[in-house]
Amino acid sequence: MARSFSLTNNRVFRSVVRHGMPDTNRNRSLAVFSNFFLHIHPVKVRLRAMAFRQTFYLGGLSAAAFFILTVTGVLLMFYYRPAVPHAYNDMKDLEFVVASGVFLRNLHRWSAHAMVALVFLHMVRVFFAGAYRPPREFNWVIGVGLLLITLLLSFTGYLLPWDQLAYWAITVGTNMAQSVPFIGPDIKFLMLGGNEIGEPTLIRFYVLHCVVLPLTAILLVSVHIWRVRKDGGIYLPPKRHAPVGRKEES
């Protein structure tokens, strides 16, 4: 061969990946720092912050569940029509006719349940670690907002199969909303898009479930993670003792 062929030492690859192999500290830093997707992470992370017992990885797992939900959700959107009578029939198609339809739908459902459990546990962990104290108070508030969005995503998604379980769950939910003083009936009217659960309700919940709530969630999660970094990373309780033979680290 006149020129040896290399997978990584060619013009196309070097135009995309601008740093060398991460075998020097500089290249290890650049691998994170010069990457659009990775550079929300700081280049260096405190070792204690990565311990399982510190966070149980709950925040990251919640984000992973959200990612799975987005991908499976988009795939389900190729077959699901948010109209009556198509909604129920399309759900049946996904169950019985579409290749991997059962798997994708089940994965979507299980990830939804998992995400609710994970964000709740994440909230409990943050609370008991005291990681909401200043300067992290506002991040806690953002977290509460994210919890509400997660629950609303579950609520709006529940209607979409348009089966008996969906219909009556939304009946109960909107009746509860109706009991708010003064503005309750108006809230119910806006939620349902009318006086009864019907086609306007389905399309409303679909748009909320697939567009409005996910966009809001992504926006808030971005601020939430940015805030963690700005506040100095994962909250770590102060070390109680100096390791033998080394200067005490702060």
Nearer residue to other proteins within complex by CB, 67 or 168: 168
Q: Does residue 89 bind other proteins (CB under 8 A)?
A: no
**Selected range binding other proteins among 148-156, 172-180, 224-232, 234-242, rule: CB under 8 A:** 172-180
The owner of tokens 């979507």 is 108
- Minimum distance, C-beta of residue 173 to other proteins, in the bound complex (Å): 10
**Selected range binding other proteins among 9-17, 140-148, 152-160, 169-177, rule: CB under 8 A:** 169-177
Task: Provide the CA 86 distance to its chain's centre, in angstroms.
Answer: 28
Nearer residue to other proteins within complex by CB, 2 or 172: 172
- Minimum distance, C-beta of residue 171 to other proteins, in the bound complex (Å): 5
- Decide: 82 and 160 in contact? Cβ < 8 Å: yes
- Minimum distance, C-beta of residue 172 to other proteins, in the bound complex (Å): 5
Structure tokens at 42: 């700081």
Q: Which of 184, 189, 212, 220 binds other proteins (CB under 8 A)?
A: 189
CA distance 210 to 76: 11
- Minimum distance, C-beta of residue 175 to other proteins, in the bound complex (Å): 4
Structure tokens at 25: 């500290």
- Minimum distance, C-beta of residue 138 to other proteins, in the bound complex (Å): 22
Name residues contacting other proteins, limited to 7-46 (CB under 8 A): none
Name residues contacting other proteins, limited to 191-210 (CB under 8 A): 193-196, 198-200
Q: Does residue 190 bind other proteins (CB under 8 A)?
A: yes
- Decide: 37 and 222 in contact? Cβ < 8 Å: no
- Minimum distance, C-beta of residue 224 to other proteins, in the bound complex (Å): 25
Q: Does residue 172 bind other proteins (CB under 8 A)?
A: yes
Total site size for other proteins, rule CB under 8 A = 14
- DSSP per-residue codes, 110-178: HHHHHHHHHHHHHHHHHHHHTTTSTTSHHHHHHHHHHHHHHHHHHHHHHHTT-SHHHHHHHHHHHHHHH
Task: Provide the CA 192 distance to its chain's centre, in angstroms.
Answer: 26
CA of 236: how far to CAs of 107, 123, 126, in Å?
Answer: 34, 16, 11
Q: Which of 144, 168, 215, 219 binds other proteins (CB under 8 A)?
A: 168
Nearer residue to other proteins within complex by CB, 20 or 194: 194
What is the H or E stretch that residue 206 is in?
Answer: helix 199-207
- Decide: 150 and 115 in contact? Cβ < 8 Å: yes
Residues engaged in binding other proteins (CB under 8 A): 168, 171-172, 175-176, 189-190, 193-196, 198-200
